[in-house]
Amino acid sequence: MGRNELALTPPGHGRLWLLGALFLVTLPHLLRMPPWLSISCLLIFGWRLLHEVRGYDLPGRWLRYLIVFIGIAAVGAAYRTLLGPDAGVALLTVMLCLKLLELRTLRDAMIALFIGYFMVVGGFLFSQSIAMGGYLFLVVLALTATLIALNHPAGRLADYRLYLSTGGKLLLQSLPLMLLMFLLFPRLSNPLWSVPEQGPSARTGLSDTIEMGSISNLVQSQAVAFRVDFDGNVPAADALYWRGPVLWHTDGRRWERMQMPIQREPPAFEVLGEEVAYTVTLEPHRRRWIFALDLPLNRPRAANTAFYFLPDFQLLSEREVKEKLRYAMRSATAYRLDTLSPAMHAAATALPGIANPRTRRLAQQWLEEGITPAEIVQRGYRLFREQPFYYTRQPPQLGDDPVDEFLFSTRRGFCEHYASAFVTLMRAAGLPARIVAGYQGGEFNELGDYLIVRQSNAHAWAEVWLQEQGWLRVDPTTAVPASRVESSVDAARFQSTSSLDDGAGFAALRKLYRQFRYGWDALNHSWNQWVLGFDRQKQLELLRKLGLHTASWGWLAGIMVGLVMAVVALIALLTLFRRPPRRDPVARLYQRFCDKLAKAGLPRQLDEGPTDFAARVSAARPELASAVQRISQLYIRLRYTRHGGTQDIESLRRLVREFKAQI
């Protein structure tokens, strides 16, 4: 394409195609940007559309400069930076929209189109779901169809089927190359979408602190925290405690983790039952901890990531989990944990100042009765069962002594209320105790045969140290009878691994909805494992199965380049030796007509159209003018319009056959 061609004005139908394709490209980003910034971009799209449809003037040069300056400043003000995925993609989106205000030549249109291709990659920075993948594939199809429309000056908007079918064929032809590059391209240690996010947009699940009311906010989310594939049967619901951060320090309201040395192997403990083997697919939560069934027996392994234990059985990754993480685990659901150092004992019995005095007096009263530590634990558990405590997601606000107010006044709360109050009560009685945050239960997907653990399964429970038994898990929340649980969904969390119940009425509809939801989740789970989870380790396993045991970066790149060249050569050979397409009968008849005139000394020039050729022949040979005009007009109608049929083709054949006698 030469310079003069690039300076041409793109065809009107091509500009409309470009406008539509770029809108599809930017739509996911517009939904993520601040509303006022998205509305500004939509107004620019509207301005350009009015220019194409109604002929409205585009802004002049100086006004465009001013708008560009305002656009950059607006992105900087919205994100407080121009760096990072959020701000960077927003800036690129705004600049692409502004490009529409100066788009006049074919060169401008091609630049905007290629920026659109580049922005397709930006969509995967924020979501790698199968839905996003399918949407962006359609966007690529629209962009490719636009590329064809821009280079088809004689086309029309009504020719959309031609553009889409041609674009679809091009994409299908690229599939073998795409598959080769997916399987053989050397895997990076950190994928593109794991770059750090700036500002408050980073996603988080559980926090490393707990304050009364924090988990109840998280539990309202139905987002998936992780999925679990068990090697055997799924354990009972009351054994599904997924261990996360362990909280030791408190100021009377807020609980925090304790700094501990990391270690490569789990602390020693006694396994009392059978081991459970499973594989976790963890969603990114931008924290270092990972989750395992209580208690983990092994340090997991994953590509490009190292894991560590803390002495309280927290599992930590060496880096924040910014991408889906898949790891295999073994755990014990029945155990004896009897490790307690002096430092841990001191941390697990500490209480701040004089906070929550009524709780302290209650614990002191129990001690004065001379009951054993095990009886104190049972007394605390029965307190929540026998007294009118309620389990609710909307507890009342608490004052300066939150545990006292919860135990003796409001008696309404969520799991962090019960865990905080129970641990405070145990410490006031001199028993070491701590809070464990994590998830409880899960939802079994029978279509995919795996467990779904959602953010709504977030939970907090207690661990108490007893001299004869070691660390004992106590979940005071389960002491509350189902009759005093406000939400039926919350009541079901501790009774079943499925949060859906057909119940009475609309059973068939609910079952259909459940099957659809589980099917879609199973499809996403497979996508996560075999597409997003195709890391270097799986790549090496695939190559070993193919008998290829050497897998250096250079070696992989060489194989990939060689295979890509082989595929391209095969396509070239097929193109070279394929049977030439059958010519159009109308074009064949007209060529026969031109050949007859050429033999008569009137050859058609290469740059001469049928109308100009007919006029020249008529001027040179007036006696042939009538026949030449009839043949030319019939050919033009058959070739360049949608009129004409089989009878007209037969008429053209007859006229060309008879024309020889007239020369």
477 shares its domain with 540: no
- pLDDT number for residue 550: 60
Pick 188 or 285 by higher pLDDT: 285
36 lies in a domain?
Answer: yes
Highest-confidence segment of 24-33, 365-374, 495-504: 365-374
For the record, the structure tokens of 59 come out as: 């802004």
Average of pLDDT values for 295-303?
A: 84
**CA quadruple 277, 281, 285, 286: dihedral sign:** positive
DSSP state of 100: G
User: Which of 254-258, 372-376, 424-428, 567-571 shows the lowest mean pLDDT across its residues?
Assistant: 567-571
540 shares its domain with 463: no
Whole-Å CA distances, 13 to 152, 160, 435: 9, 10, 65
- pLDDT number for residue 520: 73
- pLDDT number for residue 220: 65
Alpha carbons 103 and 98: distance in angstroms, whole number = 9
- pLDDT number for residue 63: 84
Whether the link from the prior residue into 295 is cis, omega within 30° of 0, is yes
- Spatial neighbors of 277 by CB under 8 A, at least 6 apart, are 230, 231, 232, 328, 329, 330
Residues 554-574 as b/e (b if ≥16 CB within 10 A, e otherwise) read eebeebbeebeeeeeeeeeee
- pLDDT number for residue 502: 45
Domain range for 127 is 3-153
310 shares its domain with 436: yes
Average of pLDDT values for 556-563?
A: 72
- pLDDT number for residue 64: 81
54 lies in a domain?
Answer: yes
- Residue 323 backbone dihedrals phi, psi, to 5 degrees: -145, 165
49 shares its domain with 124: yes
Mean pLDDT of the chain: 81
Pick 84 or 165 by higher pLDDT: 165
Residue of 532, 535, 528 whose CA lies nearest to 303: 535
- pLDDT number for residue 533: 65
Question: What is the DSSP annotation of 195-228?
Answer: SPPPGGG----S-SEEETTHHHHHTT---EEEEE
569 shares its domain with 543: yes
Residue in this structure with the two tokens 């030469």, named with its chain if needed: 2
- What is the β-pairing status of strands 254-256 and 249-250? antiparallel
Q: How many domains does the chain divide into?
A: 5
- What is the β-pairing status of strands 275-282 and 209-211? unpaired
- pLDDT number for residue 203: 42
- Which of 547, 577, 607 terminates a domain? The answer is 577
193 lies in a domain?
Answer: no
Pick 69 or 207 by higher pLDDT: 69
Please count the CA atoms within 13 angstroms of the CA of 417 that sit on its side-chain side. Answer: 30
Classify residue 450 as exposed, middle or buried by CB count within 10 Å of its CB (0-12, 13-18, 19+): buried
Catalytic position from the list 417, 459, 525, 594: 459
Strands, DSSP E only, in 170-259?
Answer: 209-211, 224-230, 241-247, 249-250, 254-256
Segment 441-458, tens digit of pLDDT: 888 888 878 899 988 888
Alpha carbons 185 and 553: distance in angstroms, whole number = 9
- pLDDT number for residue 198: 40
Helices (H), 328-429: 342-349, 357-368, 373-386, 402-405, 415-428
- Spatial neighbors of 394 by CB under 8 A, at least 6 apart, are 216
Flag whether pLDDT at 215 surpasses 60.
Answer: no
User: Which of 157-166, 506-515, 630-639 shows the lowest mean pLDDT across its residues?
Assistant: 506-515
Average of pLDDT values for 589-606?
A: 88
Q: Is 475 a residue of the active site?
A: yes
CB atoms within 10 A of CB 551: 15
- pLDDT number for residue 346: 93
Flag whether pLDDT at 615 surpasses 80.
Answer: yes
Residue of 384, 458, 419, 394 whose CA lies nearest to 207: 458
Helices (H), 297-341: none
- pLDDT number for residue 505: 47
* CB contact at 8 A, 109 and 10: yes
Average of pLDDT values for 555-559?
A: 69
Catalytic position from the list 86, 285, 294, 415: 415
195 lies in a domain?
Answer: no
For the record, the structure tokens of 244 come out as: 């996360």
- pLDDT number for residue 132: 83
- pLDDT number for residue 155: 66
For the record, the structure tokens of 625 come out as: 């003018």
314 shares its domain with 437: yes
pLDDT band with cut points at 50, 70 and 90 for residue 645? low
164 lies in a domain?
Answer: no
296 shares its domain with 246: yes
**CA quadruple 513, 514, 515, 521: dihedral sign:** positive
* CB contact at 8 A, 655 and 629: no
Average of pLDDT values for 183-211?
A: 55
Average of pLDDT values for 361-388?
A: 93
214 lies in a domain?
Answer: yes
Alpha carbons 460 and 27: distance in angstroms, whole number = 39
Flag whether pLDDT at 210 surpasses 80.
Answer: yes
Q: pTM, whole model, 2 decimals? A: 0.65
User: Which of 6-10, 471-475, 488-492 shows the lowest mean pLDDT across its residues?
Assistant: 488-492
pLDDT band with cut points at 50, 70 and 90 for residue 213? low
Pick 377 or 211 by higher pLDDT: 377
Segment 32-58, tens digit of pLDDT: 888 888 888 888 888 888 888 887 777
Segment 6-30, tens digit of pLDDT: 456 777 788 888 888 999 998 888 8
Segment 60-72, tens digit of pLDDT: 888 888 888 888 8
- Residue 238 backbone dihedrals phi, psi, to 5 degrees: -75, -5
131 shares its domain with 23: yes
599 shares its domain with 571: no
- pLDDT number for residue 643: 61
- pLDDT number for residue 553: 61
Average of pLDDT values for 136-140?
A: 90
411 lies in a domain?
Answer: yes
Alpha carbons 159 and 151: distance in angstroms, whole number = 13
80 shares its domain with 223: no
- pLDDT number for residue 552: 61
Residue in this structure with the two tokens 């309201």, named with its chain if needed: 253
- pLDDT number for residue 563: 74
Residue of 122, 174, 167, 163 whose CA lies nearest to 140: 167
Classify residue 293 as exposed, middle or buried by CB count within 10 Å of its CB (0-12, 13-18, 19+): buried
Alpha carbons 637 and 240: distance in angstroms, whole number = 76
* CB contact at 8 A, 361 and 404: no
Whole-Å CA distances, 588 to 532, 584, 644: 53, 6, 16
553 shares its domain with 464: no
* CB contact at 8 A, 187 and 543: no
pLDDT band with cut points at 50, 70 and 90 for residue 3? very low
Flag whether pLDDT at 113 surpasses 80.
Answer: yes
Flag whether pLDDT at 249 surpasses 90.
Answer: yes
For the record, the structure tokens of 354 come out as: 């004089």
367 lies in a domain?
Answer: yes
Flag whether pLDDT at 98 surpasses 80.
Answer: yes
Pick 596 or 547 by higher pLDDT: 596
CB atoms within 10 A of CB 290: 25
Catalytic position from the list 108, 294, 475, 490: 475
Segment 393-438, tens digit of pLDDT: 788 888 888 899 999 999 998 888 999 999 999 999 999 999 999 9
- pLDDT number for residue 488: 56
- Spatial neighbors of 287 by CB under 8 A, at least 6 apart, are 204, 205, 206, 208, 320, 321
389 shares its domain with 323: yes
